[in-house]
Structure 1
């Protein structure tokens, strides 16, 4: 009689927690709130100074800081929402809300960059007088505020996508302040006004760099791609090396957030092996291997004894044990 399929989704309760309560650091939330307050307050000062001085570089940096202020506020709000536990409708909880926020922030950066670039072109065609001394004072103050904000975020969780994105935003502001200082010095020494829109273009490039990073990383998670640096083919081949496993297929890996990696897979057991008699043992071995070598703390493993239950759809990440060749 052919052994029956064991298609239960076995979980090793000692390997991870099934409550799906998010691990959201209160320190991240507080640091984000402080950085948002610093950025928002100085954004108003810089925007007013840019209007008084007639400096596009200051206005460009203020526009960048406006986006950063919104990004930091949303990131703070995302940490608040992520505190909520999972329920029957949202079984993974609210952690991915922070990833969605990061994606929206990144798209917003592209919009701000486009607005600044258009204004810079207009300034090149029709130069506007700039008050270099006023511009210099405000730019120096902005540099100090950005240094303080960057220091606040430096102590947060660097593996968190929102934190990393926020730090990049603040770093862009910091470099934007440096550009504004340079423009003010050139104007005071030479009176060459085109340096102001020229350096505002540099700020645009900084914005675009930050935007691309945030959109790319958050988009990867939202599209449920395999985690960065994670090769499902290599994982399948590694698991086949475990004793008693004949074949690994239907392997899928994705992330809820950058720190919460997930996986599902089918493992076919060799007939007559210890794993065939004790599927719980082989399931525990697979889970331990995934956690120790690949950082997967939550995996759903389906044990099979003969053909794949999902015939004709066994996934691309497939590995089969290679038996040594025999000679007649």
Structure 2
């Protein structure tokens, strides 16, 4: 007689972001169209300005395509047993890779700007201004598509019992960000910023003869982009490395255990993120209370709905 296998509960904790996936696909198509148009125009009209901007835009198209494929992969493998805590981190990995690419773009921008500062080149102002304006319009459309007002913000009511509530409220927006979408958005914003600075520099050079401003504002743009890229690298890297023990939810877990019984000692606690604003924890307790069970602890932790998975171990003193 075969013993029936007890079905395991799901370890897929993030529902994905289908709306962002569709928007990123549209933004990728817009960017690809603009890139092809600029590169083709560069070859037809023998314009280095068109060619340079087209190849520059190709790096952002690559980042947008990476973000889109991450959503597809996360959904495709969501029931794959190899991913013991779901496939959400595929999106985070894509965001991290995209941030690295954004940093490379910033370095290239800075290098080109410094080179132009010492070795000025002839600028075809009318053509370059036209290209920059068209590029800015395309980037603004993509930015509008990718901008997320709430970043998946949860509106569930939480019950908190101490000062951790205040800290939690301030960081809740950060917890619920879609970092894959944010990476794509930053690429578009970086390109839009570059276009704005280029337009300012080109008008200043055309009407006032300030040719040096093109290179100077290029360096400024590179520094801005590198700052955004570094911030995103820190955010995504922290999640990929499970460096979540400074999050407010850790203090909340400790407070729940303290409220149960002061004689309970936490001997081991691990917390990591498994979705946007969702955490898993492993908790080992030591107590002389023989009535304390893992179920009691799980019920106590359930007041914090960001804790979606908990493994509890209770050892007698």
Category of TM-score, reference length = shorter chain: 0.7 to 0.9
Match in the other structure for 2:117: 124
Tell me which residue corresponds to 1:317. Answer: none
User: For residue 271 of structure 2, what is the aligned residue in structure 1?
Assistant: 253
Change in Cα spacing, 1:129 to 1:49, as seen in structure 2 (3 Å) is: farther
State the match for 2:29 in structure 1.
Answer: 37
Q: CA deviation at 1:264?
A: 0.8
Equivalences for residues 123-272 of structure 1 within 5 A: 123-155=116-148, 158=151, 159-226=177-244, 229-230=247-248, 232-233=250-251, 235-243=253-261, 246-271=264-289
CA drift of 1:74 comes to 0.7
TM-score relative to the length of structure 2:
0.78
Which digits, 9 at most, give the CA deviation of each residue in 1:3-26, with x for residues without a partner? xxxxxxxxxxxxxx6352641132
What 5-or-longer segments of structure 2 have no aligned partner? 1-8, 152-176
Query: As a proportion of its length, which structure holds more helix?
Result: 2
Q: Which moved more, 1:195-204 or 1:129-138?
A: 195-204
Secondary structure in structure 2 of the residue aligned to 1:255: strand
SS in 2 for 1:262: strand
CA contact (8 A) 2:42 2:48 kept: yes
**Structure 1 residue 305 displacement after superposition:** 2.3
Structure 2 residue aligned with 1:14: none
What CA distance in whole angstroms lies between the structure 1 residues aligned with 2:48 and 2:282? 58
Deviation at 1:277, TM superposition (A): 2.8
Q: Does 1:94 align with 2:87?
A: yes
What is aligned with 1:287?
Answer: 301
Deviation at 1:229, TM superposition (A): 3.7
Unmatched 5+ stretches in structure 1: 1-16, 307-328
Q: How many residues align?
A: 282
Q: 1:133 to 1:266 in 2, by over 3 A?
A: same
Once the two structures are TM-superposed, the CA of residue 231 in structure 1 deviates from its matched residue by 6.3
Kindly indicate whether the alpha-carbon contact (under 8 Å) linking 2:256 and 2:300 is maintained by their aligned counterparts in 1: no
| Cα-to-partner distance string for 1:142-190 (whole Å, 9 max, x where unaligned) | 1111111111112587221111121122122221111111112112202
| TM-score normalised according to structure 1 size | 0.76
Q: Give how far 1:237 is off.
A: 3.9
Change (3 A) 1:281 1:254: closer
Give the secondary-structure state (helix, strand or coil) at the position aligned to 1:142: helix
Residue 89 of structure 1 deviates from its aligned partner by 2.2
Q: Is the 8 A contact 1:86 1:92 kept in 2?
A: no
Of residues 71, 79, 97, the one that matches 1:79 is 71
What's the CA shift string for 1:269-295, capped at 9, x where partnerless? Answer: 443xxxx33615423333314x24xx2
Q: Which moved more, 1:209-218 or 1:225-234?
A: 225-234
Shift of 1:304: 2.1
